[in-house]
């Protein structure tokens, strides 16, 4: 079976080739999938493997189906970039990796929180310049702080457990509360209460039409003055313009984002020699209390191994006419 990968980076080639135990034919393209490239897909391609910034619109899916593509494999958990109704209508199977080392993303969220709070990135740069002053590096204890977690799937659950270990009070909001988490001391509350009472808020929910711009002018007004916001989930959960205004007024004391609503033109690319035309991300990065990483939270050896193994096994089983675990299937 021939699989064509889009948005492929060198590490994708390494891990997928390493774990290709079914001897599938793997071809890699660095470009993202969209209307600009879909017509170049070879007629013999049976599956395409895509990532978060590939655009599988109805038009793209129709072209793929016409070329004989039967399987859409997402090597990620999110699937808001795939028009599932069209895929189903065209008889295409769509699979994903719903959980790949959730601890990787949860730990990155904690790393961002600690970096912002204790200003270790600034201290590192200072010391390298032989400046050992502590002025401007004052942080705060996480111990006994109230942490709000929005979304308690596998990643949110892992994050909750870490925060409990720091001695934090953990409030959570999810449409489907987790009984195990409740037994460990996590308190499920209405969203409004989580926003109002939390010193730190971390987003761990998938993006949907219902929660797009969950963090906006209205929800920001509910938050404590000087709250910290961390987003390692999806960029579209945040209305960036409203968040910038909250940073300017001090409503938000700190912001850490590993995702950005317009990231497809920026992330996973080396733009160090380019002029970035996105004024919004430039404004964000100008704040001393904002930390931006480029969709790095998933990037551990354990996570990449799980992504490669699960994705290739899903495709192999579907190609053999067998059904992968239901948790992996979207259509």
Residues 6+ apart with CB under 8 A from 269: none
Residues 185 and 248 in one domain: yes
Residues 13 and 126 in one domain: no
In this prediction, residue 291 carries a pLDDT of: 98
Residues 204 and 261 in one domain: yes
pLDDT digit string, tens, across residues 190-202? 999 999 999 999 9
Residues 59 and 180 in one domain: no
Task: Locate 46 and state its tokens.
Answer: 């049976």
pLDDT at residue 99 tops 90 = no
Share of the chain above pLDDT 90, in %: 96
Please compute the mean of the pLDDT values over residues 236-261 and round it to a whole number. 98
Give catalytic residues, as residue numbers. 234, 263
Residues 252 and 154 in one domain: yes
pLDDT at residue 329 tops 90 = yes
Residues 160 and 113 in one domain: yes
Residues 226 and 111 in one domain: yes
Residues 216 and 307 in one domain: no
Between the CA of residue 87 and those of 45, 54, 282, 318, 330, what are the distances in Å?
A: 16, 15, 37, 15, 10
Residues 74 and 122 in one domain: no
Question: Residue 263 burial (CB < 10 Å; 0-12/13-18/19+)?
Answer: buried
Please compute the mean of the pLDDT values over residues 122-141 and round it to a whole number. 98
pLDDT confidence bin for 317, thresholds 50/70/90: very high
Quote the CA–CA distance of 308 and 11 in Å, as a whole number.
11
Quote the CA–CA distance of 41 and 33 in Å, as a whole number.
10
Domains identified in the chain, total number: 2
Residues 63 and 128 in one domain: no
Report the SS3 class of residue 188: strand
CATH number at residue 217: 3.40.50.720
In this prediction, residue 100 carries a pLDDT of: 86
In this prediction, residue 217 carries a pLDDT of: 98
Residues 155 and 47 in one domain: no
Which range marks the domain in which residue 13 is found? 2-100+301-328
Residues 210 and 283 in one domain: yes
Is-above-0.85 flag for pTM? yes
């Amino acid at each position: 079976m021939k699989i064509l990968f889009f948005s492929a980076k060198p590490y994708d080639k390494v891990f997928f080739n390493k774990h290709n135990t079914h001897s599938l034919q793997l071809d890699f393209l660095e470009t993202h999938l969209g209307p600009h490239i879909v017509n170049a897909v070879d007629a013999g391609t049976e599956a395409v493997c895509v990532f978060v910034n590939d655009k599988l619109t109805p038009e793209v899916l129709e072209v793929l189906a016409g070329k004989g593509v039967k399987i859409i494999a997402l090597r990620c958990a999110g699937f808001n970039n795939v028009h599932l109704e069209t895929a189903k209508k065209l008889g295409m199977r769509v699979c994903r990796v719903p959980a790949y080392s959730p601890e990787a993303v949860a730990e990155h969220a904690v790393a961002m929180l600690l970096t912002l709070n204790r200003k270790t990135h600034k201290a590192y740069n200072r010391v390298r310049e032989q400046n050992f002053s502590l002025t401007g590096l004052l942080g705060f204890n996480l111990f006994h702080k109230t942490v709000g977690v929005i979304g308690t799937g596998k990643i949110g659950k892992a994050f909750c457990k870490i925060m409990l270990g720091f001695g934090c009070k953990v409030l959570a909001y999810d449409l489907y509360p987790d009984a195990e988490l409740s037994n460990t001391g996590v308190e499920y509350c209405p969203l409004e209460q989580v926003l109002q009472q939390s010193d730190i808020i971390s987003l761990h929910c998938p993006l949907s039409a219902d929660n797009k711009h969950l963090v906006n002018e209205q929800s920001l007004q509910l938050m404590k003055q000087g709250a910290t916001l961390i987003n390692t989930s999806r960029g579209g959960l945040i209305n960036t313009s409203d968040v910038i205004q909250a940073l300017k007024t001090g409503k938000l004391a700190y912001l850490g984002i590993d995702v950005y609503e317009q990231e497809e033109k920026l992330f996973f690319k080396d733009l160090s020699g380019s002029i970035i035309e996105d004024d919004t991300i430039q404004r964000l990065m100008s704040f001393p209390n904002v930390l931006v990483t480029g969709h790095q939270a998933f990037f551990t050896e354990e996570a990449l191994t799980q992504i490669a193994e699960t994705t290739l096994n899903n495709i192999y089983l579907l190609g053999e006419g067998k059904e992968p675990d239901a948790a992996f299937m979207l259509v």
